[in-house]
Amino acid sequence: MSAAPRSASRRARIRRLPLHAAALLVFVLSVFPVYWMVLTAFKPTRDIQAETPLFLPVSVTLDHFTTAVGADGFWLFWRNSLVITASSVLLALIVALGAAFAVARLRWKGRRGFILMVFIAQVAPWEALLIPMYVIARDTGMLDRLSMLTLIYFMITLPFTIVTLRGFLTAIPVELEEAAQVDGCTRAAAFRRVTLPLLAPGLLATSLFGFITAWNEFAFANMLIIKNQDDRTLPVWLSSFSNVFGTDWGATMAASTLFALPVLVLFLVLQGRVAAGMTSGAVKG
Amino acid sequence: MKIRFIAGSAALAAALALSACSSSPGADAGPERLTVWIMKDSVTEDFLGRFTQDFERRHKDIALDIQIQEWDGIGEKVTAALASTDAPDVIEVGNTQVAQYAASGGVKDLTDRTEELSGKDWLPGLAEPGRIDGKQYGIPWYAANRVVLYHKDHFTKAGITTPPATQDAWLADTAKLNKGGIQGIYLPGQNWYTLAGFIWDQGGDLATRSGGEWKGTLDTPEALAGMDFYRRLQALGKGPEDSDEAKPPQAEVFAKGDVAQIISVPGGAKIIEESNPALKGKIGFFPVPGRTSDRPGAVFTGGSDLIVPEASAHQDAAYEVIKALTGDTWQTDMAKTMSYVPNRTSLAGAVAGSESTAAMAAGAAQGRATPNSPQWAAVEATNPIKQYMTAVLTGTDPAKAAKNASDSITRTLGS
Amino acid sequence: MSTAGTARTAPGPGRVPGALWPYLLIAPTVLGTAYLLAYPLVRNLVISFQTYGMGELIRGGAPFAGLANYREILADPVFWEVVRRTFWWTAVNVVLIMVLATLVALMLQQLGRRTRLLVMSGLVLAWASPVIATTTVFQWLFSSRLGVVNWLLVRLGFDSYENYSWFADGSATFAVLVLLVVWQSVPFAAITLHAALLTVPAELYESARLDGAGAARIFRSVTLPVLRPLFALVLCLEVIWVFRCFAQIWAISKGGPGDATTTLPVYAYRIAQSLHRYDLGAAASTLTVLLLVGVLVVYFRQMFRQEGEL
């Protein structure tokens, strides 16, 4: 009696075998480089240089992290990066929220032109602007200032932030706000009490994008911070680090791990909300 | 006009909003803070420490902030510094790169100080690139030739009593050394200064000028012969084909103890001893061998000049630093600790009598420089020679790779 | 959509007339864009019409050069080769990204809850890792000595990969860079497309199946139409990102060996920063922007049409 269904389910399982093999392959391929980075960072040098690579942490050492952190001023650069990344992302969020609201909820003359401007700003060739930006910073006395970097990172992330936030905003039914207004709220209060909480996942997802972009930026940080070496950022330091340590892959990977850490932690903390936000934002975007 | 106004006020507003997160460069009372850029591995930390201490003791009103710079990407860095409004006050620049900065107008003219700095006796290989139209912008600091540094124990064990004097003997000895866990020579694939020497030995050059036009000449038979020797030598060790002597720092590789020879400036020995004191006294020197025993190999004469940017806010104090660094005391000290050639011939006696200097002096007679074009620094910046070397060492047809690299050099020098 | 209902002026707080609100809200964006994007772009354009080298950068006073820089660039055979390579680079990467991402998205749809979560977190991990860190990791994976890729290839019987220097050969370096960029870009595209697939109502599949449609048929007539708008968006974003890709190439190969991985952004950077010909670099980057805008004109037009509907 039960023979037929069992063989059917086995057949189904066999049919799904390639699918699961593919899933496993995708998982391994996407995780392996990150895994290898962390693993190398914890491996003793002797194991790193083994002729046959070790794929599991047999013995673990913190030596490479000590080298990386002890290199010089690591925490200073880490803090610099964190401060300018966070402030530029925050600034971009606030400014973009206003713009996204105007675009998604209000009707005004020049709206189309504004949207076009934002879209074009998204394809801005930032590397090409190094020299003009340098000249502008110099002529306004902003060289060697973290605030100039913050402004640039703000502008790099702004167009994308506006576009995504607008997507999230249009996904939230305007009727909710209107209902609150009927109940006697001002427009601003209605937005704050009703829309903003619904927008939270979107804000988080968007800020994560901005965070990654600003956290990674190298060219401007390298060009605009000249004399105040204490104001260098982590990517600049990391690049000199891989110069200094060359093929000391353990230390280099430890440094890379420490560099990736804040983004990954942020991602883990926000993961649930971000996934939800990304889905709705992307679909409407 | 309008855009500029709006832009300006936006910047102002933003700057005000953000001033909380920028550290303001202190203009507080106290000693004048001088920033000095020194290239990595130019001198030892110990030397810099002693110099700073002594300098600050003599100049109570000046505090030195010495920042070590990497060679990689240094061209962009120095340019950005020269063009800024508050540049570092003293910058060390390589003798192959100083000409372009001197010509740029961003470097202070120090012609009226040459006499005080004994400019008459300066080494021409350092003084000339720093001089444009009779004005002296770059002040010579030190020069050094490359020699072979060898691990005496490994030589003894391999039964080699006298260092090789010809290229053939050098190959044979290195093959003998390259046994067991020992590398006969650690020669990274992109040590192009060394290749230049081998090419000069064969009678070739990196680039030549005819009728005002520069042309890359890596594809001549002489240059190809030089590359072929490099290839055979490089194979007698585990130097990476795709990297240069700075990645990883070859001194640190040697310091691990299983390398028999490296090609380096004699000062490399100090860096090695600093990282592995157990090697003290075990490092020997001999000139890079030539094709015949009567003449050592041609070598690249490297060195550095010191410049004061026009944009430096403390030019007088900066000059004091240069005066001290190029003065008798520290020139002699540096020549001894780093085994460098002092910046002027009158101090040659300071380093007489040491083994490393003897090796260097022998080579110095055959010292050569890179092609004398202000655009040469641009060639170094993208360095097709390094790529050419890696290509040959990994099996590409040398003639074809050489042709590509030569074309690239021709284009850059002609732009 | 029904946002038209909100067009009436809102009773804004304070004494600001309602009609001014939108302009106040976008003012920071407009000002920021003007000062930090438009103004530098104009400066860049001006530089491209001047003679502007290291001396001019330091001393100022650059003379006007007319179209000389553009003439020099356009007459340079290397430039045209770089243009061709850039298009090739963009095409290879974008096609690989889109195909793989679509496959992964379709696969995610078929998976059970737990497996899907696992694969998703793997993708997110790859996507969230900072570019600089992963670029360094790829250099380590493909390192000639002790690199795990060489070890694996030798293990699989390709003995010629013993200590193979990936970054010494033009096409090998190109391949590694493609791999890196595809690896970094697929997660975003796949997750976004997967999200789009979720919006396809299950009934549609159901009825298609009842009509006796096969898997291929269902994909063509149900999945594809739903996917199309978002597919177009992702495609355009990837084109922009890949075309402009600079950090990865510069960190790994600086455009070498030779010119084998020099794309337009790398070319412009190299001319400006290494040769100190800021004028030529500015001209090259202006041409880059024009090319990219040319490629994306279709995208802009579609975006604009959609905006018009709002």
A45 touches chain B (CB under 8 A): no
Specify whether the CB–CB gap between B64 and B317 falls below 8 A: no
Q: Which residues of C are less than 8 Å from B101 in CB distance?
A: 54
In chain A, residues with a C-beta closer than 8 Å to the C-beta of C33 are 117, 121, 155, 158
Entry pTM: 0.81
pLDDT single digits (tens) C173-228: 999 999 999 999 999 899 888 887 877 777 777 888 888 777 788 888 877 777 77
Q: Within a domain: residue C75?
A: yes
pLDDT band at B360 (very low <50, low <70, confident <90, very high): confident
Considering only CB atoms, C140 lies closest to which of A40, A103, A106, namely: A40
Considering only CB atoms, which chain C residues are within 8 Å of A16? Answer: 110
Does position B97 have pLDDT exceeding 80, yes or no? yes
Mapped to the 3 state alphabet, what secondary structure does chain C carry? CCHHHHHCCCCCCCCCCHHHHHHHHHHHHHHHHHHHHHHHHHHHHHHHCECCCHHHHHHCCCCECCCHHHHHHHCCHHHHHHHHHHHHHHHHHHHHHHHHHHHHHHHHHHCCHHHHHHHHHHHHHHHHCCHHHHHHHHHHHCCCCCCHHHHHHHHCCCHHHCCCCHHHCHHHHHHHHHHHHHHHHHHHHHHHHHHHHHCCCHHHHHHHHHCCCCHHHHHHHHHHHHHHHHHHHHHHHHHHHHHHCCHHHHHHCCCCCCCCCCCHHHHHHHHHHHCCCHHHHHHHHHHHHHHHHHHHHHHHHHHHHHHHHC
Taking residues B407-414, what's their average pLDDT?
A: 87
Task: Find the range with the poorest average confidence among B229-238, B343-352, C227-236.
Answer: B343-352
Minimum-distance CB partner of B415 among C31, C35, C277: C277
C175 within a domain of the structure (yes/no): yes
Residue type, A249: W
In this complex, which of A136, A260, A283 lies closest to C129 when CB atoms are compared? A260
Q: State residue C15's pLDDT score.
A: 56
CB A42 within 8 A of CB A64: yes
Residues of A in contact with B11 (CB under 8 A): 140, 142, 151
Q: How far apart are CA B200 and CA C85, in angstroms?
A: 37
Which residues of chain C does B390 touch, with a Cβ-Cβ cutoff of 8 Å?
A: 165, 167-168, 257
Q: Of C177, C182, C187, which is closest to residue C248 (Cα–Cα)?
A: C177
Burial classification of residue B392, based on how many CB atoms lie within 10 Å of its CB (0-12 exposed, 13-18 middle, 19 or more buried): buried
Sequence ranges of the domains in chain B: 30-144+302-358, 145-301+396-414
The confidence band for B353, taking pLDDT boundaries of 50, 70 and 90, is: low
C contact test, residue of B16, B18, B79 with most C CBs within 10 A: B79
Our CA angle for B226, B231, B237, nearest 5°, is 135
pLDDT at C178: 96
Interhelix angle A111-122/A74-105, nearest 10 degrees: 150
Domain count, chain C: 1
Selecting from B19, B83, B86 the residue whose C-beta is nearest the C-beta of A147 gives B19
**CA–CA dist C174, C256 (Å, integer):** 9
Tell me which H or E stretch contains B243.
none
Q: Calculate mean pLDDT across residues B216-244.
A: 91
In this prediction, residue C5 carries a pLDDT of: 39
In a domain, C289, yes or no: yes
* Interface probe, candidates B23, B33, B34, B241, chain A, greatest A C-beta count within 10 A: B23
Please tell me the distance from the alpha carbon of residue B274 to that of residue B334, in angstroms, as a whole number: 15
Contacts of B87 in chain A (CB under 8 A): 226-227
Three-state secondary structure call for residue B244: coil
Task: Tell me the chain A residues in contact with residue B67 when contact means C-beta distances shorter than 8 Å.
Answer: 229
Smallest Cα–Cα separation from B319: which of B304, B333, B309, B328? B309
Residues on chain A touching B247 (C-beta within 8 angstroms): 243, 246-247
The tokens describing B211, both together, are 């009728």
Closest chain B residue to C72 measured between Cα atoms?
B415
CB contact under 8 A, C118 and A27: yes
Residue B163 has pLDDT above 50, yes or no: yes
| Cα distances (angstroms) measured from residue C262 to each of C81, C143, C256 | 9, 21, 7
Q: What percent of chain B has pLDDT over 90?
A: 40
**Mean per-residue pLDDT, C28-57:** 92
**Do C140 and A186 make contact, defined as CB atoms within 8 angstroms?**
no
ipTM: 0.81
| Cβ atoms of residues A50 and C143 within 8 Å | no
pLDDT higher than threshold 80 for residue C244: yes
Topology (CATH level 3) of domain B30-144+302-358: D-Maltodextrin-Binding Protein; domain 2 (3.40.190)
Residue B3: CB atoms within 10 A of its CB come to 12
Report if residue C196 sits inside a domain.
Answer: yes
pLDDT of residue A252: 83
Domain with C141, as residue range(s), is: 69-309
Task: Determine the residue of chain B that is closest to A141 in CA distance.
Answer: B85
| CA contacts within 13 A on the Cβ side of A142 | 25
Structure tokens at C63: 């003379």
CA distances from A207 to A196, B22, C241, C268 (A): 15, 22, 19, 30
What is the helix (H) or strand (E) element at residue B291, kind and residue range?
none
d(CA C53, CA C62): 8
Where b means 16+ CB within 10 Å and e means fewer, B297-333 reads bbbbbbbbbbbbbbbbbbeebbbbbbebbbeeebbeb
Higher pLDDT, A128 or C49: C49
Contacts of B10 in chain C (CB under 8 A): 31-32, 34-35
Q: Number of C-alpha atoms within 13 angstroms, CB side, residue A163? A: 24
Would you say residue C30 has pLDDT above 50? yes
At C303 the pLDDT is: 64
B412 and C256 within 8 Å at the Cβ level: the answer is no
- Is A245 at the interface with chain B, CB within 8 A? yes
Classify domain A72-284 by CATH architecture. Orthogonal Bundle (1.10)
Are residues C195 and A133, on separate chains, in Cβ contact within 8 Å?
Answer: no
What is the pLDDT, as a whole number, of residue B138?
92
Query: Mean pLDDT of residues grouped by 10 in chain A (285 residues)?
Result: 58 79 92 91 83 82 84 83 94 94 88 86 83 92 91 93 85 81 81 83 81 87 86 82 65 86 79 55 41
Compute the mean pLDDT over every residue in chain C, rounded to the nearest whole number. Answer: 84
CA angle centred on A275, ends A271 and A278, rounded to 5°: 130
Q: What is the pLDDT of residue A245?
A: 56
Q: Which residue has the higher pLDDT, B283 or C256?
A: B283
CATH number for the domain that contains residue C149: 1.10.3720.10
Contact assignment for B415 to C275 by CB distance below 8 Å: yes
Closest residue in A to C186 (Cα–Cα): A30
Window A:56-85, CB contacts with B under 8 Å: 83-84
The contact set of B with C (CB < 8 A) is 3-4, 6-8, 10-11, 14, 75-76, 79, 82-83, 100-101, 103-106, 238, 240-242, 310, 378, 381-382, 384, 387, 390-391, 393-394, 396, 404, 408, 411-412, 415
Residue C184 counted as domain residue: yes
Q: Which chains touch A (3 or more CB pairs under 8 A)?
A: B, C
Q: Which residues of A touch B73 (CB under 8 A)?
A: 222
**From the list C40, C122, C251, which residue is nearest A31 (CB)?**
C122
The fold of the B145-301+396-414 domain, in CATH, is: D-Maltodextrin-Binding Protein; domain 2 (3.40.190)
User: Is A87's Cβ below 8 Å from some Cβ in B?
Assistant: yes
Q: Which of A267-281, B284-298, B323-337, C123-137 has the lowest mean pLDDT?
A: A267-281
